[in-house]
A and B are shown apart, each in its own frame.
Chain A
Amino acid sequence: VSKDVLVVSVVTEGCNEFPMLESLENYTLTIDDDQCLLAASTIWGALRGLETFSQLVWTSAEGTFFINKTSIKDFPRFSHRGLLLDTSRHYLPLSSILDTLDVMAYNKLNVFHWHLVDDPSFPYDSITFPELARKGSYNPVTHIYTAQDVKEVIEYARLRGIRVLAEFDTPGHTLSWGPGVPGLLTPCYSGTQPSGDFGPVNPILNSTYKFMSSFFLEISSVFPDFYLHLGGDEVDFTCWRSNPDIQAFMKKKGFDDFRQLESFYIQMLLDIVSAYEKGYVVWQEVFDNKVKVRPDTIVQVWRDKKPVTYMEEVELVTKAGFRVLLSAPWYLNHITYGADWKDMYKVEPLDFEGSPEEKALVIGGEACMWGEWVDSTNLVPRLWPRGGVVAERLWSSNLTTNLDFAETRLSHFRCLLLRRGVQAEPIGVGYCEQEFEET
């Protein structure tokens, strides 16, 4: 018997919108004698169901396509299932980003956390402040993301049901901002003389906040997602400590700890972003440093053991009533010889002491690929299929934990990725039926 049509039905209207944190992704897929039907609440759920349908189709040795009688009811465990890509330490060509979005969709990941800029480079080509990329990128002609590029990434992601969460980390990790905006960064001192080095964003100048207001006005309009990621991690106080003007400001404000100065800055920044009616995600240090944030702030837990283990941190953050994203155990750039995916797979995001209400504050997590050792030459095999391990942990039930079952399926999934032209690395001994030359 042949099946010539997959009928797709969705309940809710809305084809021109962007996916949101609250978007429903549930679907049912029924393949039997009577029907071949994919039903979903929303188009985003239909996308997830189409991916599942595509994985069910198999080919006989003679090349005939088949699908078995199947009934699937499916929905994600967590609504935020992200992948962080760093495009500052190394520049990633636009095509690498788009290819990554494709593979994210194969894994039902739904948030592209775009860590656009950092210390070494500023590839985001700002319309309001073009000097940022002109003077802060590796190459202002080739190694930038133009407004058109950014638009293309956002649309390509939307068509795959993926949100784009842009990160502009401050006050630390901002050395690449300095050349394009003179006076933004703090001059460091050696004794009584400026050393010629610069530190984090200068938090004591009105001009800093004027710049941030203009810059984030642009960012808020370019990136449609409700959330922006504002960073806030790893602020090095050495430079602030050396600067006499900062010291005087601290004295005037009655601050005796540089964390208070950081909090002062971040609160000003959060007020600016809130005024543009955006929500924000911050790294855990903002919470650790007791910065006053809005109750709907999302805190991303990234530190493995300090100041406490990541699960203890999740417990603390949820007890304080904030939503949590977990990424500490899922740093894909950390590699070890052998099957390191198993440790990532065994992570249980709700394995902490907390009430059901507190556990409900864990909204998901992210696999992270920092860019120090990764560019377009090795990104794909380092990302996949290990990134898929995080994807299953965030999508599938808490009861889907059997490692042998996972290993069999992940090996098979890796072959599917190869067939689709993705250079996913092997996870152990084995082979794929089809080894494609184009991979």
Chain B
Amino acid sequence: LWPWPRSVQASSRRYRLRPAAFAFRHHPGSAAQPGCDVLDSAFARYRRLLFGAGPWPPPSPSGQRH
């Protein structure tokens, strides 16, 4: 992590993220809901940074499959 946070507790237990299924969501009780442009655009930005811009899985450039 950079910059280093105030307090971090981490363990080796891990969870899988499935790009096709993963989403950022507003908590129902949050003061920000869909339509909050700062967070909506950040959700799109970070999804792109994490998994790329296109659909998941990305199509093979030649259309062929392994």
Contact = CB atoms under 8 A, between A and B. Distances in A.
Contacts of A74: 5-7
A68 B14 contact: yes
Given A5-B23, A68-B11, A388 B3 contact: yes
Nearest to B47: A54
A73 B5 CA distance: 7
A400 interface: yes
Instruction: Say what secondary structure dominates the interface of chain A.
Output: mixed
Contact of A55 (B2, B30, B43): B2
Counting chain A residues whose Cβ lies within 8 A of the other chain, the interface size class is 35 or more
A31 B15 contact: yes
A289 interface: no
Interface in B12-62: 12-19, 21-27, 29-32, 35-39, 41-43, 46, 49-51
Contact of B37 (A15, A46, A72, A410): A15
A71 interface: yes
Interface stretch (A6-14, A126-134, A197-205, A364-372): A6-14
Contact of A392 (B3, B26, B46): B3
B15 A66 contact: yes
Given A43-B32, A68-B13, A70-B10, 17 more contacts: A2-B17, A8-B26, A9-B29, A15-B38, A46-B39, A54-B50, A57-B17, A64-B16, A65-B19, A65-B22, A65-B50, A65-B51, A69-B13, A71-B9, A388-B3, A391-B2, A409-B4
27 contacts: A7-B25, A8-B25, A8-B26, A8-B39, A8-B43, A9-B27, A13-B31, A15-B36, A15-B37, A31-B15, A39-B27, A43-B38, A43-B39, A46-B39, A46-B42, A50-B46, A54-B50, A65-B18, A66-B16, A68-B13, A69-B11, A75-B6, A158-B38, A159-B38, A391-B3, A409-B2, A412-B2
